[in-house]
Amino acid sequence: MPPVAPGNVRVLRGDARRLEGIDDASVHLVVTSPPYPMIPQWDSLFARLGAHDYAGMHRVLADAWAAAHRVLVPGGILAINIGDAMRTIDGEFRLWPNHATTVTAAEAAGFRSLPYALWKKPMNRPNAFLGSGFEPPNAYVTLDCEYVLLFRKGRLRRLPPHDPARAQSRYSRAERDRWFSQVWTDIRGARQGAEGRRTAAFPAEIPERLVRMFSLVGETVLDPFVGTGTTLLAAARWGRNAIGVEWDPGVFRGLAQRGRALGWEVVTPSRPGARVGRGVRAPPRRRSGGTGAPTG
Ligand SMILES: C[S@@+](CC[C@H](N)C(=O)[O-])C[C@H]1O[C@@H](n2cnc3c(N)ncnc32)[C@H](O)[C@@H]1O
């Protein structure tokens, strides 16, 4: 177990594109995995957000990266787990390069790109192969990696010399050697249980590693596409405070139920103005209607 007291956790029903109720420059690290454009599982959610094609889906995400930029402290890190998609549209098969479009969008939102990691997923069928037989040229390379894209808001963070929180947040030499190599082949977890499969939860090892690589004990970590709350559990376990934002009412209900059992603070738009911690306010009550607004 980590040698620190667990952090506080708040979950907000809200929209990653606005992050209402979260103050400017109040978050030290954003760790998230958004819905992946062009993966059929997310088509209906993107449609509810007003997005019906690749460009529209990335416009939704681009607004979220702009909101993340607003709430991060100068020097704060944005870590995005995303995978590319393969899909046939109008009879034509192609790769939809979500990682590349996300890099362009995050840079347009004001972030600077940092060296990224590739997470090599354990495959159920190690030699999964798209093609037939052994003759060229029409087979495809297997997509068995996802990206962990890393960005910084502005320049390096300035920390006081001999900061005790920094010392408390140390990792070991062996952890450093594994975590800061570019290909992560040691992520054990498959996606999590039954609920996790529906919501595409990532293995806990991913947010846990990112939280320890890029934040200090006592700081605040945000996941704007929080889903089942994997990031929140990881952050709290390692002594960071955490905020999660979820837009889908059904997913939020499950998250709220789980969170209450764990003593998390649950904030919905029906409690306008409620303070949910330093630098965080509940979003104001919204009128229903309007694409993408929380629906109550
Ligand atoms: C890939 S899942 C995240 C899974 C999460 N990492 C976990 O471990 O459970 C993306 C989540 O983002 C939510 N979402 C989609 N659009 C959103 C938006 N505009 N604002 C907030 N959450 C959103 C989805 O409902 C879904 O729960």
Domain CATH code at residue 186: 3.40.50.150
Which residue, by CA, sits nearest to atom 12 of ligand 1?
225
Question: Coil, strand or helix: which one is 52?
Answer: coil
In a domain, 272, yes or no: no
Q: How far is the CA of 21 from the centre of ligand 1 (A)?
A: 18
Domain membership flag for residue 220: yes
At 62-104, the pLDDT tens digits run 999 999 999 999 999 999 999 999 999 999 999 999 999 999 9
Q: How far, in Å, CA of 213 to CA of 87, rounded?
A: 34
Beta bridge partners of 221: 29, 242
Query: How many domains does the chain divide into?
Result: 1
- In tens, the pLDDT along 136-189 reads 999 999 999 999 999 999 999 999 999 999 999 999 999 999 999 999 999 976
Task: With respect to residue 181, please indicate whether it lies within any of the assigned structural domains.
Answer: yes
**How many Å apart are CA 243 and CA 9, to the nearest integer?**
6
Q: Is 98 in the pocket of ligand 1 (CB under 6 A)?
A: no
Boundaries of domain holding 47: 9-267
CA dist 177 and 101 (Å) reads: 29
Residue 287 lies in a domain: no
What does the alpha-carbon distance between residue 225 and residue 259 come to, in Å, rounded to a whole number? 16
82 within ligand 1 shell (Cβ under 6 A): no
Residue-level pLDDT at 272: 43
Residue 279 lies in a domain: no
The ligand 1 atom nearest the CA atom of 248: 25
Residue range 234-250: mean pLDDT, rounded: 97
Q: What percent of the chain has pLDDT over 90?
A: 78
Q: State pTM to two decimals.
A: 0.90
Strand partners, 113: 151
Share above pLDDT 70 across residues of the chain, in percent, rounded to a whole number: 84
Least confident of 19-33, 43-57, 258-272: 258-272
| Residue 118 lies inside a defined structural domain of this protein | yes
13 in any annotated domain: yes
Query: 247 CA distance to ligand 1 centroid (A)?
Result: 7
Is 66 part of a structural domain of the chain? yes
